[in-house]
Every structure is written in structure tokens, then in C-alpha cells.
Amino acid sequence: MTQHVVSVLMSGIFHASILFLVSAGLQVVFGVQKIFNLACGSFYALGAYVGVSAVQAYAAAGGPAAFFIVPLVLGGLLVGIVGVVIERGLLRFVYDRDETFQLLLTFALVLMLEDVIRLTWGTSPLSTGGMYLVYGQVRILGAAVPVYNLIVIAASLVIAGGIGALLTRTAFGRIIRAAADNREMAAALGVDMRWLYAQVFTLGTVLGTIGGALVIPATAAMSEMGIELIVEAFAVVVIGGLGSMRGALVGALVVGLLRAVAISVYPELEMLLIYLIVIAVLVLRPRGLFGAAATAA
Amino acid sequence: MKGRLGLAVAVAAVAAVPYVAPTYHVLLMLPFMAYGVVLLGLNLLFGYTGLVSFGHALFIGIGAYTGAFLTSRFGVRSLEVIVLTAAVLGAVVAAPVALLCVRYVKIYFGMLTLAFGMLFYTFVLKFYRLTGGDEGTPYLRPSLLGFGLNDIPKTDYLTGPYYYYSLVVLVVAAAVMWRVVHSPFGLCLKTIRDNPAKAESLGIGVGRYRWYAFMISAVYAAVGGALLGAPIGNVDPTLAYWTHSGNIVFMTLLGGFASFFGPILGAFVFIYLEDFLKSLAPSSWRLIFGALLAATVIFAPGGLMGLVGRARPRST
């Protein structure tokens, strides 16, 4: 019994740490730029595919299996560069438009990136093969937990701490918080908003791509993984509160754990339960657990 | 007058399509007309009331599943009954959903509608025994005006009676919507869109009017969904997926949400372009579509109608 509970909890926390990374990317972009980026799921998928390719190339070059995580992370980080291209190439044209247009532009990105992925990597699922269990498993209260999952959970916590420190203890973080609070005032005080927006959007993209790269040894890369994840990340940010990093952390834990429990107890309820909670939160407390006040009608 | 003539020509042209165009293109007109009905309703909410729903695929799904359930489970084949039931069920489901959604505007409205849409999607996907899950439910050939029409080949049925039935539904739906948006009620919606605070101070019940607009748009989407499902012959959950909601907003924007007929034009262009691109570039049509959507958002937020309007400022 404990064995079963532990394995459900651990898989929930693993999923939550991935969800946190993608949601954190969504939050930082929404917080500063006020754009709800539907394409964050696509960045996640992009990171996953690049991660698979990097690991496969690494294995083909004869690199030691124990260090496969190095090309994986590097690939995930580097592909985040597309963020700056998309921000400079497309998004900057719509900052003064209604948010509906901004939302639709990110929807256009979803469509485009889905085909970019299909054209580059084909339609069949890709995986990193046996790399997942290279680090072996540990027994926690009788349940076998892959060490790789623990590494990802730890990495996610470190990144969460890193973002927290970045936002609260550095000059860049103060500028981000100032711009999130009042962008006109921040601009008037001499913050170069164009440069800031490029940096923030790239940060958001990198969080998504690194999330995708980290998840991939545990699963397989599929072209639909992006549009499926975005609705979960959406649930996370609604529950946690739009724009809040703490909200992303708590929301990811809620969604990740609930999903794991639902799957093991009553699979039909899986996402249904999560959307019910999302609706309850939106209706009863639209700013989420940690968000700023919502704009009610 | 000129506008009315143009409209008569357009309807006559659509009515002539089965006689002049190859069967394949005639069949493509069916989803176009079904989406035309959906978008007339969606645009009452989007263009006239200023609320962008990312969950209207929910009501398309309700309309389509109504048709599928009635024909394949309950033995009801009459399309009139199906359309009416779809409209009633759409309204029944929309009533509480709209009540909760119209309390918010902008991004929160979009998120709440998205959440309801995905709730319905996961429901039909997961409750396999009831809905057939991802395999869907068959939508048997409906009878039209009491005529069974089971003895003619499917293509003849779809390009003949069913085609004109859809056209009549679209024309009636457009006529009703035209009356709605040009009534005092429609003016109130536009006032709410442009300045809700002022509308409230003028004594317009903002929340109530938004609720009405949502209800009408949901009924239109359900009726459109009932028309959309029959030609496919099978209704599956992808009809209710969030990307489908995104696509219909895309169609509206493509045609031009600021114009009454813009969304219908958008549906037409979308359907034919999608078909053309899918055969021309099967693996990259989404890429081209995405680029087209991005270009529309950045360069032509008024859509195709906006482009035409700019070229001929006083045309209508």
C-alpha cells in the first residue's frame, strides 16, 4: 500500500516539476508583457525534440552514457534562442494592440511550430532509448523510483530557487518586477523596454524548452505533446494565479499530484477533475491563489 | 441598395454551385455553410460585444453530438428535430456557462471559456461507453422535411437536398442575425463593447446583455455543429478541442470581425485554403496557415473585409 502511494506521489511530483518549468515561462512572460503565450507548449515540444536529437548525436559520437544529461540540457538551453527571434520578428509588432490579437498571434505560433517540428523530425515518436535508467533506481519505502526523476525534481527546485533569487536579489529582477508593476513608469525611469521584453520572452522560452528537454528521457517526443501540455500549464497558472511565480510552483504541485492520483484511482476523471478545479478557481477566486486582482467586468 | 444586390448575387451564386462546380467542391461548401452559421453567432460575441471566446467548439460539439445521438441511438432522423434539439441543448448548457463567463472580460473571459470547452472535451473523450470516446459516434443520414432520402447515393444526397437545406438554414440564420445586430439590442451590445461604464450609466444591464449575446452565439454554434456533423457521418471529440475553438476565431479574424459578412467570407476562404494547402503541401499547411494568421494579426487586423473596405472606403 505505502509502496503504491509513494510511487503515485513520486510520479506526480516529477510531472509537477516539469509543469512548473513550462508554467514559470508562461508566468514571467505574462507578468511583464501581459501576453498569455499559448506557444509555451510548443516551446516545450521543441525543447523535447532538440533534447532527443542532442542525446542521439552524443550517443552516436560515443559519449559515455552517464553524462547524457549534459548534451540534453545544452540542447534544451540553446534552442531557447528561438525566443528572441520570435519576439523581435513577430511579437514586438503587436504590443500596442488589443490582447485578443496578441493571443491569436501566439496561436499562430502554435500552428507554425507544430509543422516545423513535423518537418524537421517527422511524425513518429522519438525517444532516447535506454538512457532513462542509466542512473538506476532507488527504493523509497519499497517503491522503485528512477534516479533520473529525482535529478529532474532537484533541477526544477534549483531553477525555482534561481528564479526567486533572480527576481528578488538582482538589479535585473528589480527591473522585471518594476516593469510588471507599471510599465510606463519603468520606461519613464529609463528602462529600455524593447531590450527588457526580448530578454524576458527569451527567459520564458528557455524555461519551456528546458522543461521539454528534461522530460524526454522519461517519455517519447510526439508532435502533439505541445498542444496537450499547454492546457495543463493553463490550469497551473489559473490555479496559482496569473503572473505569480509562487503560484506556478503551488499550481504545478496541485495539478501534477491530482493528475497522478486521479490516474491511479479513477482514470476517467484525470483532466476532468483538473478543469473542474480551474473553473471553481476562476469563478470563486479569479486571481488564483497568489495572483494580483483580476479585472472583473 | 447596392449591398442588397450584391447579397442576392452571392446567394444565387452559392445556389448555383451544385450545377456548375465539380462534386468535390460542392462537398466543401457544406462545412463552409455550417461554419457560416457558427461564425454569425460567434461574431455577435466577438465583433459586436467585444468578448473573444476560446471555447465555442464546446457548442459545436453539443450540436454535432446531439445529431449523432438522436440519429444513431434514439432513431430520430428528422433534421428539423435535430436542429431544434441542438439549439435547445446548446441554450441549456450555455445558460449556466454564460452566467459564469460574462462576469469577466478579455483574457479572463477567454480562459474561462477555454476551461469549459476542455471540460466538455475531456468528458466526451473519457466517457467511452456513453460517447464512443475518441472513435466518436456515428451521425446517420438525417431525413429532410419528412423525406427519408435513404435510397439515393450519399453524394447525390449531400450535393442536392442537404446542400439546399444548409443554404436555407444559413440564409435564415443570417437574416435573423441581421435583425438582431441592427435592433436596439444590437446597438446596446456595441455600446457595451466600446464603453461598458457608459453603457451601465445609460441604464443598460451590461451583464444581462452580455449573457443574451453569449446565449444567442451558443445556439448558433450548436445549430452549426448539427449541420457540420451530418456530412462527416461521424462525430468525434476533436470537434470540441481547444484548437478548434482557436480556428473559428481565426476564421472570424481572417474575414473581418468588424463586418457583418466578414466571418462568412472568412469561413469560405479558410475552408478552401485549408483544402488547397492540404493537397499542395500536406506536411506544411499548418505552417502556411500560421504564417497567414500572423500576417493577418500584424498587417490586416480588419481581415479581408478590412482590406476591401480600405480600398473602397464608402462601398457599403
Contact in structure between B233 and B139 (CB atoms under 8 Å): yes
- At a CB cut-off of 8 Å and minimum separation 6, what does B133 contact? B124, B125, B126, B127, B237
Closest CA to A82 of A53, A54, A46: A46
- Average pLDDT (A237-245) is 86
DSSP B301: T
Q: What angle do CA B75, B239, A44 make, to 5 degrees?
A: 150
What does the pLDDT look like over B31-63, one tens digit per residue? Answer: 999 999 999 999 999 989 889 999 999 999 999
pLDDT, position B32: 94
Q: How confident is the model at residue B314 (pLDDT cuts 50, 70, 90)?
A: very low
- Shortest Cα–Cα distance, A141 to chain B (Å): 33
Question: Residue A158: pLDDT above 90?
Answer: yes
Higher-scoring residue by pLDDT: B6, A53: A53
The arithmetic mean of pLDDT across residues B216-235, rounded, is: 93
Contacts of A110 in chain B (CB under 8 A): 243, 246, 290
Helices A270-284, B106-126: crossing angle, 10 deg rounding: 150
Tell if the CB–CB gap between B108 and A295 is shorter than 8 Å.
yes
The rounded mean pLDDT for chain A is 87
**pLDDT beyond 60 at A12:** yes
Q: Rounded mean pLDDT of A132-142?
A: 81
Q: Which residue of B has its CA nearest to A93?
A: B298
By Cβ distance, the residue of A93, A112, A276 closest to B287 is A112
Nearest to B210 by CA among B228, B188, B180, B181: B188
Which pLDDT does position B2 carry in this prediction?
Answer: 65
Cβ neighbours for B22, distance < 8 A, ≥ 6 positions apart: none
What's the mean pLDDT in B111-123? 89
Q: How far is B68 from chain A (nearest CA, A)?
A: 22
**How high is the pLDDT of residue B144?**
85
Q: What was the pLDDT predicted at A184?
A: 86
Disruptive mutation site among A103, A118, A239, A277 for chain B (greatest number of B CBs within 10 Å): A103
Mean pLDDT computed over B87-95? 95
**What type of residue is A136?**
G
Q: Is B280 on the interface with A (CB under 8 A)?
A: no
Nearest chain A CA: its distance from B226 CA (Å): 25
pLDDT for residue A131: 77
Pick from B242, B283, B298: CB nearest A94: B298
Q: Which of A77, A79, A72, A80 is nearest to A53 (CA)?
A: A72
The three grid cell numbers given for residue B79, joined into one nine-digit string: 433534421
The phi and psi torsions of B77 (rounded to 5 degrees) equal -110, -10
- The band of B312, judged by pLDDT with boundaries at 50, 70 and 90, is very low
First to last CA, chain A: 49
**Tally of CA atoms within 13 A in the half-sphere of A29 that contains its CB:** 31
Give the pLDDT of residue B56: 93
pTM of the model: 0.88
**Whole-number Å distance between alpha carbons of A193 and A188:** 10
Q: Strand, coil or helix: what is A54?
A: helix
Q: Topology of domain A2-284, per CATH?
A: ABC transporter involved in vitamin B12 uptake, BtuC (1.10.3470)
The model's confidence at residue B211, banded by pLDDT at 50, 70 and 90, is very high
Domain segments of chain A: what residues? Answer: 2-284
Q: Would the CB atoms of A101 and B301 count as touching at under 8 Å?
A: yes
Cβ of A105 and B293 within 8 Å? yes
DSSP string across A64-108 = -GGGTHHHHHHHHHHGGGHHHHHHHHTGGGGTTS-HHHHHHHHHH
Size of interface A-B (CB pairs under 8 A): 135
Report pLDDT for B251.
92
What's the CA gap between B100 and B53, in Å, rounded?
A: 13
Per-residue model confidence as pLDDT tens digits over B137-190: 888 888 888 787 778 888 888 888 899 999 999 999 999 999 999 999 898 889
- Give B102's contacts in chain A (Cβ within 8 Å): 297
Please report, rounded to a whole number, the percentage of residues in chain A having pLDDT higher than 70: 98
Closest CB to B115 among A111, A227, A278: A278
- Residue B1 has a pLDDT of 55
* The pLDDT of residue B316 is above 60: no
In this structure, what C-alpha cell is assigned to residue B286? 499548418
> Containing H/E element for A145?
strand A143-146
Contact A297 B210 (CB under 8 A): yes
Q: Exposed, middle or buried, B87 (CB in 10 Å: 0-12/13-18/19+)? A: buried
Question: In terms of C-beta density within 10 A (0-12 exposed, 13-18 middle, 19 or more buried), how is residue B154 classed?
Answer: exposed
- Determine the pLDDT at residue A295: 41
Residue with cell 496557415: B289
For residue B217, name the pLDDT band (cuts at 50, 70, 90): very high
Most B CBs within 10 Å, among A86, A107, A255, A277, to test the B interface: A107
B298 contact A CB<8A: yes
Whether the pLDDT of residue A294 is over 50: the answer is no
pLDDT of residue B201: 85
- B272 touches B28 (CB < 8 A): yes
Per-residue pLDDT of B259-304, as tens digits, reads 899 999 999 999 999 899 888 888 888 899 899 999 988 888 888 8
Q: What is the pLDDT of residues B64-87, one digit of tens each?
A: 999 999 998 888 888 999 999 999
Distance from CA of A275 to the nearest CA of B (A): 6
Average pLDDT (A177-201) is 88
ipTM of this predicted complex? 0.86
